[in-house]
Chains A and B, each alone.
Chain A
Amino acid sequence: MARLIAILVGLGFTLVVLISFGVDTYTSITEPAPETAEHKFHLEPKAVSFPHDGVFGKWDTAQLQRGYVVYKEVCAACHSMKFVAFRDLADLGYTEPEVQALAAEWQVPGVDPQTGEAVLRAGEPTDYFPSPYPNAVAAAAANNNAIPPDLSLMAKARHGGAEYIYSLLTGYQEPSEELLAEFPEAAPGQGLYHNPYFPNLNLAMAPPLTATGQVSYEDGTEATIPQMAKDVSAFLSWTAEPTKVKRTQTGWPVLGFVLFATILAYLSKKQIWAAVKPAKRKD
């Protein structure tokens, strides 16, 4: 009886899902879904390598410091970085007085101790990076209704991570003839810019890196557009996961210990079972 009911229920679900299959297959053959510009012209991120990549990676503090300059001079005009505090900059190889000096270059919201009024004051190491806009409405109003996303976690929040950021920053271009011929509606509209690395091909952010020497690096590195893009991508990898290098460096001793323990466990297992294990026989 149980089996009969089960067979009927099973055949029922099978029948219904096969009807769905038949209808969907018929539809997709008679009315194939149109090809989309996003599907055909979107590019996967370029392959870029960073010193902190991989299981043996280490931060290149000189690169992170350069990336910080790019963030401060370029990105910070529109993008917040709310999960990162000035004190965190010590990771980039700055000393405590240097961190204090870097923090003091920023104006953060504060309270006047005499009057209690909202004022801007110089940043301190315990402060977090301030937002360039007082609120989301102001951010949208200043940017053609597209709120510039917070950059703290950008390298983890996008498929491709730092490579995606690098590709996006260096990927602005005129839409190809082929694209415009096939999908005229994919041409960037008012206030939009074409970039094949962006999922829907047109984004509201104007190309932020426009000329060599846009920022000046203290270490004498030439600030070309790819150089700046790479440095700021590395910097954003750090802001997304400041503990990344500590994590991989912790992993090795942990794995070493567990491997040692596993070998011991294997040997004791072998020893204990030796008495009851028969000679190998094939089954």
Chain B
Amino acid sequence: MLRFVLRRLLEFVPVFFIIVTLTFFLIRLAPGGPFAAERAVPEEVLKRLNEYYNLDAPLYVQYFDYLRDLAHGDLGPSFKKPTLTVSEWIALRFPVSLELGLYALGVALLIGLAAGFLAALRPNTATDHVPMSLAMAGICIPNFVLGPLLVLVFALWLEWFPVAGWDLQQDKVLPSITLGAAYAAYVARLSRAGMLEMLAQDFVRTARAKGVSETGVVLRHALWGGMQPVVTFLGPAAAGLLTGSFVVETIFQVPGLGREFIQAAFNRDYTMIMGTVLFYAGLILLFNLIVDIVQAWLDPRVRLS
């Protein structure tokens, strides 16, 4: 186990290196630099700005400079929002996205698993169709529709929650639900399928035949196995949730990392894009590693070798 984790962590190094390289050159391919503006920036000024940020050096020199700074843990200044460095921006924004993501993940798991398992226990009955239809609705209604709709009903008409913001605890309810809803739907469908799969397995039938009670069968055997596809899905999903969602953060004006990232992409804020991509990369790799470990733990037949 320990060896497995260590080896995977070692694998991170080349993967990270590839991501840095690919992203670095990729973003330079996109037309328009960070200082292109509607009011033409005078050529002299543009030259000075490029000098200031070392953007006038040949690309490969910039690349090696970036690698060197990165090795020292320096992600550089933000071109477009110079008041803070990229690391400071991430440190400021990520906790917000993390908090929102955790709530949304909670919503997704709680509702999703409950609905999925309930449905799987009595397939093709009302307890199956009702939660599954709701789950489907969760997928069909995109969050850019659900968000404004929830605001209209719960903030404007019922006045239960604020419209937007991220200061009070009650600010966090609507965005969490909006973000979590689609994921809940996924979890519900995947867990239902996984459960049904498990309940049809030989060992479950054996257990039933041996007279283990239905609850026992479900809890002891089917539940964990049934979560398998959910867990696989949760790896990337959790990374996506925790790093923030542009749409939900915009609708509810949540000061998270997701918005920052998309804005950086549109602004061609090179260092900011690099910084956030690398940060995401770290999270995704980490989550996938966790998923692999959890998967092995859920299903002893998958050996970590």
Q: Do A and B bind each other?
A: no
Which residues of A pack against B, CB within 8 Å? none
